[in-house]
Amino acid sequence: MSTLSITILQTNLFWEDKGANLDLLTKKIGSIEAYTEVIVLPEMFSTGFSMQPEKFAENMDGPTVDWMRRMAVEKKAIITGSLIIKEEEKYYNRLIWMLPNGTLGYYDKRHLFAFAGEDQYYSAGNKRLIASVKGWKINLQICYDLRFPVWARQQGEEYDVLLYVANWPEKRNHAWKTLLTARAIENQCISIGVNRVGLDGNNIAHSGDSLIVGPLGEVLYHCAYEEDVFTITLQKEELTNARTQFPFWKDADFFHIQ
């Protein structure tokens, strides 16, 4: 059965300073010594959770996407995280899935965080992206999407890993940890949440609390308040055994998302 090595970067971010963030992340990615196949960055990793897309948006040929491509080639690993993208006069909180060969896929955040005004500045996506790596299927989502279980719900065995990149605030970290655990259990998958730490430009604190949870709700990794670079090797056999021993997915309700 196959394995998949994933590295998560829980880091502080420089507020709305692309150059400083890319320099920081270049060093952190370069410091990874463990074998890894996927490197995960937080939501809006180049700016923090900014509501000024008109100042910081790039197109898909912009410098940050180009940086992701170079990092993927250098590390011979997939690089993923979200950034601000402008396309056809609209702004998106877009997760890029950059392959080592320079090709990419992307997912536009569906659930925009109206509480912070994200829906006033960004356009919502309407398609899921389930990436495939070495026989593993990974459902890619962003932060606030975590609160909406229907958008993540398995129908059969569509995916193996449910991955969220985030700028989730400390004051709601209990919901973050609880929902990541719930998504793993209800979808019989491995759920991974990669969050930032530190204060942002709006003086909002982030505790990180990046989390990896197994299909039965077991915590495989958790880190709060500190910056961390962590690599885990997932075992497909362990996931398959859990699904075989407890085939709850067979009794799930089937539905169609509009």
CATH number of the domain that residue 169 is part of: 3.60.110.10
SS3 category, 29: helix
- Catalytic site residue 55? no
- Out of 16, 37, 43, 118, the active site residue is 43
More confident residue, 50 or 249: 50
Distances, alpha carbon 196 to alpha carbons 146, 161, 188, 210, 249, in Å: 16, 20, 26, 8, 32
pLDDT of residue 141 exceeding 90 = yes
Q: Does this model's pTM top 0.95?
A: yes
252: confidence class by pLDDT, cuts 50, 70, 90: confident
Whether residue 33 is contained in a domain is answered as yes
| Amino acid, single-letter form, for residue 144 | Y
Which of 18, 28, 109, 177 is the catalytic position? 109
Within a domain: residue 257?
Answer: no
Indicate whether 100 belongs to any domain: yes
- Please report whether residue 252 resides in a domain: no
Average pLDDT value for residue range 38-63: 98
User: Residue 255 above 90 pLDDT?
Assistant: no
Q: One of 28, 37, 58, 143 is an active-site residue; which one?
A: 143
Instruction: With respect to residue 256, please indicate whether it lies within any of the assigned structural domains.
Output: no
Q: pLDDT value at position 1?
A: 62
Residue 125 in any domain: the answer is yes
| pLDDT score at 89 | 96
43 assigned to active site: yes
Q: What is the pLDDT of residues 190-236, one digit of tens each?
A: 999 999 999 999 999 999 999 999 999 999 999 999 999 999 999 99
Start-to-end C-alpha separation, the chain: 35
- Domain residues for the domain of 70 are 3-247
pLDDT at 80 over 90: yes
pLDDT at 183 over 80: yes
- Number of C-beta neighbours around residue 119 at 10 A: 13
Q: Once rounded to an integer, what is the mean pLDDT over residues 48-54?
A: 98
| 18 given a catalytic annotation | no
Average pLDDT, the chain: 96
In a domain, 255, yes or no: no
Overall domain count for the chain: 1
Residue-wise pLDDT tens digits, 17-35: 999 999 999 999 999 999 9
Is residue 253 domain-resident? no
